[in-house]
Amino acid sequence: MKDLATHCFGIKQTELIVAQMLDVDGVDVEKCLQKVEKKITKLKMEDTNYTYILECSDGSLYCGWTNDLEKRVKAHNEGKGAKYTKTRTPVQLVYYEIFDSKEEAMSREWHIKQMTRKEKEALIQK
């Protein structure tokens, strides 16, 4: 994964923004740093794609991809995910991989779906 500060707005610009925030009278330094961290985390999440495996309540495995893993697992458990998992809740996240692009995550999903159950179980155990 790329260095986020460089990717988003460059190291020098990041340092300048933080320096400007710290030099302002009456500014809560901790609050400023929290805002910066929150923005960086949000930007990082936008560039992150996941391929994941869920274990369903009936013991079956489901593989998918997403750019927001927490939100997607929650959707599956609320019956708003895939048709397959809708009747197999609750589901549990048992494995995931991180990718820089949607295409990489989708390709990995396809490859995992070609695996036998034993191969998927071996992948989960790693």
Average of per-residue pLDDT across 24-41:
70
Whole-angstrom distance, CA of residue 44 vs CA of residue 2: 9
- For residue 9, which of 31, 41, 40 has the smallest C-alpha distance? 40
Residue 52's Cβ-side half-sphere holds a number of Cα atoms within 13 Å equal to: 20
Looking at the predicted structure, is the pLDDT value of residue 7 above 50? no
| pLDDT per position as a tens digit, 65-104 | 999 999 999 999 999 989 999 999 999 999 999 999 999 9
Confidence of residue 46 (pLDDT cuts 50, 70, 90): low
DSSP string for 72-124: HHHHHHTT-S-HHHHTS-S-EEEEEEEESSHHHHHHHHHHHHTS-HHHHHHHH
pTM of the model: 0.65
Q: Say whether 70 sits in a helix, a strand or coil.
A: helix
Structural domains in the chain? 4-46 (no CATH), 49-125 (3.40.1440.10)
For 119, counting Cβ atoms within 10 Å of its Cβ (0-12 exposed, 13-18 middle, 19+ buried), the class is exposed
